[in-house]
Structure 1
Amino acid sequence: LFCQMLYFEKHNGKRSMRNPFDNLYGFILSTEVKIDDSVRIEFLKDFLDNFGNRIMNKRVKDQYDKQSTTHISNEEEFIRMMFLDGCFIIVFISCFMSSGLEELEMTKDTIMKVQKDIFLLENQLPFQVLEALCSDDDSKKNYLHKMLNGYFRYCTIGYNRHFQELPLDLDYEPKHLLDLLRITWIGDPKYFRFVFWNKFLGHKSFFRTIKLIILYYMHKLKNLIIKKNLTRGRHIFMKGRVVRNLIELTASGIYLRPNSSNLLCDMDFNSFLTGKLTLPRIIIDGSTKTIFLNMIALEVCMNDDYGITSYISFLDSLIDKADDVKLMRSAGVLEHFLNDDEQVAKLFNEIGADLVPENDCYSHVKVDIYNYFEFKGRTLVATWLAEMLQVHFRSPWTTIAVLAAFIAILMTGVQTYFAIFPRSNH
């Protein structure tokens, strides 16, 4: 009931003073919200006073457009609004991640709407508000970040997978949840320095630490290459479509593999005889389109590096139809909960139809793929190998048949050799 009332008030257009929360102090004194078995917060009057002081000191109200706060008559009402919105987000995500959705007393449709609304750009709550609800307790802030990280994984790559968690002492302060999701998913290079030292000092795995620092400097090197080859890249792009769909890439000897970091910045293409395109894993569900569209809008507003926009544009190039989605699923790069593969292809084609990132973060990958096709001799060999594998090794039975035929030919050759050159009795 608590979450239902907060949700109703949040979507009421304006925050009417005629609701069960008029006497906020009385509500706080009589309410205890269980966030987790190990974390229990009692909302007392002193806690609310301290909460109000913290968000006002951080000038949270200045982050809102003045016209959007004209209906707020005084400071106390603004604090009240921030408090209720922050409580709603924490309680909803906590119950969602702890399989306690029945405690919310919401219908499935309402839960799905809330999932989408949390990532709407116009609904974003300053991240300082969520941290202020944790007081100055580092353990509660740590729990908040872990809870959000788990929720982000659930919405993007799958809860059973991991991308690098962010330490609490970073220079970068996320503006809101959507911004935190974007940075967490992309793997901003600014984070790698702090993640490296954090792992170096406190993690047992030395090789994982080395991998993190290598990823960081590889990302810096890629940015330098992109800047130096910008003119060449534009010239190549003017010739036509650089990246073909996955069906064409696979037929030309390019294979798809998931990366190990699950970060969008860790995308690469390598080739020798054949090519290997490494992509981060992704899960597609009913909230994916909302997340994508709002992160694109966020990057336009921030005029940032367009990491999400570039990623979606790149996937749109790879995916033309359902067969391309099927290849991504078989490679372990994509998983979806929509009705069929055709809907996934339609989703990316609709979002990426007129999507042209101002700064394409993956132009180096596109140039590498273009250079792969420019080497005609290697492309012919790779295509022949791909066709041979597809025709003769497409199933265990065909593989066994090919091996049996090879052994038969080998035995026939051996038999012929000894017939021509019989072994001497001496």
Structure 2
Amino acid sequence: MEETQIDIVVGEVSRLAKSMQSDPFWGKTNEANNFTIFRKPHHISQSKKKLFEPSVITIGPFHRDQKGQKGLQLQAFEEEKWRLLQGFLSRSSISLDLCLKEMKSLEEETRTCYSEKSTLDSDTFVKMMLLDGCFVLEYFLQLFIGKLNYSRVIYRDLLLLENQIPFFIIEKLYQIGLNQEDRLNFEKYRMSFVKYLAYMFLTLGLAKDINSIPYPPTFKKVPDPRAEIQDSIHSKIPEPPAEIPNPPDKIHHLVHLCYHYLVPHPEPRVPLNSEKGDISSMVIPSATELKNKGLKLKPKSNPKHMLDISFDHGVLQIPKLAITAENKPILANLVAFEQSKHANKDLPFTRFVIFLDNLINTVSDVKILQKCGIVENWLDSEKEVTQFINQFTEVDFFERDHYLAGLYMKVNGYIKSNWDQSRWKKQRAKLKREYFSSPWKAISVVAAFILLVLTCVQTFYAVYA
């Protein structure tokens, strides 16, 4: 290569390097660690996308630009955001300028929370932060003083993975939006008032929608603040019971809070030393197979949390689970959240859903689980439940050392042991049924046996005499 050509190549490389270094993403390779709000995982098919899309309200930038009828429907609810913003501003005569100034100071941090770079300009993005943050906070406040009615649709939309706003925005608005003297000191309860409101919101929603999705019995003791609060937001806020578990040090958004609420103490993985080819820790028979093999299925009476499954003396105990049209998206989004970068690495919720997928293969399995009180079906048919649960087979998760591995091995070991013992029992029962079901059959068998012995003796003497 001639020297002139080499100089041209070097110049082109140098120009390209400078161009790359001037890109906004240069030097920000670690910013991915700040992502807390994600799109649904790519392995979830497009046919399931409705489980991740809002119905009436958009929060955050991901679903702001929807087109067609859905876009018009979402846009129609924007007026409600403005109404709640005005209610928030009038609560303590706070200025709009102050709110916008505080949101502007959080813009860069907020942008880094989303896994996709937003194309919104600064003014539009800041306005979105204020409107969405005020809506969530004011919705909480008005809900619990009885000025707003609980809405299942809004509840569902606020717990979608792609429909979130960072929780620190809500906390900042609370700090600046209510007078200091009008604010309760929740530090003695180890949680902020906003976190308390969010817990109450989740408690109300889970009690109404998810219904039988179990949570610690202590959560049921949370008082209803609407019975305590009349005219003032903070006139007489009920104290949260001491049994409420500590929230995580930093709540990223409402889905994160809901996940922590349902799985307050994720079970650790069970280290296994089983041989490489052993799959007894990875799969469990269906409900129909378990029943046919002599196992009993029972709803767990006092589960620690919804993943608290146990097996002992041939009885598999599973917390109750209601399947409704409202909680289908919530379950799907919790699984999607867990598989995101900042969720629990052991994926206990994903493993629980795969456990359900193992149990439910056919409509007959759903009927068995309904009959024994484990599943409450509020969908149109058992077939719909089967199809919903089986959709999670798209999850790529086949590790052997998960939190249910020990339980799987106990169940499969019990089935094998019980099968070995039952084979002789079945043969004995068959012998009794066919040859000793009546006195005459028994006498015939005994006579035939004696005749056989005598014949053998006669043959022996005939040969050796």
Structure 1 residues 265 and 354, CA, compared in 2 at 3 Å: closer, same or farther? closer
Per-residue deviation, 1:54? 8.2
Equivalent residue for 1:310? 351
Q: Is the 8 A contact 1:262 1:280 kept in 2?
A: no
Equivalent residue for 1:340? 381
Equivalent residue for 2:262? 185
Q: CA RMSD in A?
A: 4.5
Structure 1 residues 160 and 370, CA, compared in 2 at 3 Å: closer, same or farther? closer
* Percent identical: 19
CA distance in 2, matches of 1:168, 1:52: 35
Normalising to structure 1: TM-score of the pair? 0.61
Equivalent residue for 2:34? none
Alignment of 1:17-416 (within 5 A): 31=87, 42=91, 44-45=93-94, 49=98, 53=102, 56=105, 60-65=109-114, 68-74=117-123, 77-90=124-137, 112=153, 114-135=154-175, 137-138=184-185, 140-141=193-194, 142-158=196-212, 165=219, 167=244, 170-189=247-266, 219=267, 223=269, 226-227=270-271, 229=272, 231-232=273-274, 235-237=277-279, 242-259=283-300, 260-261=302-303, 263-271=305-313, 275-302=314-341, 304-353=345-394, 355-358=396-399, 360-376=402-418, 380=422
Q: Is the 8 A contact 1:266 1:279 kept in 2?
A: yes
Structure 1 residues 256 and 130, CA, compared in 2 at 3 Å: closer, same or farther? farther
Equivalent residue for 2:5? none
Structure 1 residues 234 and 280, CA, compared in 2 at 3 Å: closer, same or farther? farther
Per-residue deviation, 1:367? 0.8
Per-residue deviation, 1:349? 1.4
Say which SS state the counterpart of residue 69 (structure 1) adopts: coil
Per-residue deviation, 1:29? 8.7
Say which SS state the counterpart of residue 180 (structure 1) adopts: helix
Say which SS state the counterpart of residue 165 (structure 2) adopts: coil
Q: Is the 8 A contact 1:309 1:357 kept in 2?
A: no
Q: Is the 8 A contact 2:213 2:322 kept in 1?
A: no
CA distance in 2, matches of 1:97, 1:338: 29
Higher relative contact order, structure no. (Cα contacts within 8 Å, ≥ 6 residues apart): 2
Structure 1 residues 29 and 84, CA, compared in 2 at 3 Å: closer, same or farther? closer
* 1:146-181 per-position Cα deviation (integer Å, ceiling 9, x unaligned): 222322343434489755547485453221111222
CA distance in 1, matches of 2:312, 2:397: 25
132-141 or 119-128, which deviates more? 132-141
Instruction: Tell me which structure has the larger Cα radius of gyration.
Output: 2
CA distance in 2, matches of 1:133, 1:295: 26
Say which SS state the counterpart of residue 360 (structure 1) adopts: coil
Q: Is the 8 A contact 2:129 2:169 kept in 1?
A: yes
Q: Is the 8 A contact 2:210 2:326 kept in 1?
A: no
* 1:212-233 per-position Cα deviation (integer Å, ceiling 9, x unaligned): xxxxxxx55xx4xx11x2x417
Per-residue deviation, 1:48? 7.5
Q: Is the 8 A contact 2:60 2:132 kept in 1?
A: no
CA distance in 1, matches of 2:284, 2:328: 23
Structure 1 residues 258 and 52, CA, compared in 2 at 3 Å: closer, same or farther? farther
Per-residue deviation, 1:82? 2.3
Q: Is the 8 A contact 1:31 1:43 kept in 2?
A: no
Report the AA paired with residue 150 of structure 1: L
* 1:218-250 per-position Cα deviation (integer Å, ceiling 9, x unaligned): x55xx4xx11x2x4175321x798411111212
Structure number having the greater helix percentage: 1
Q: Can you give the 5+ residue segments of structure 2 that lack an aligned partner in the other structure?
A: 1-54, 176-182, 187-192, 220-242, 430-465
78-87 or 44-53, which deviates more? 44-53
Report the AA paired with residue 154 of structure 1: K
Per-residue deviation, 1:120? 2.5
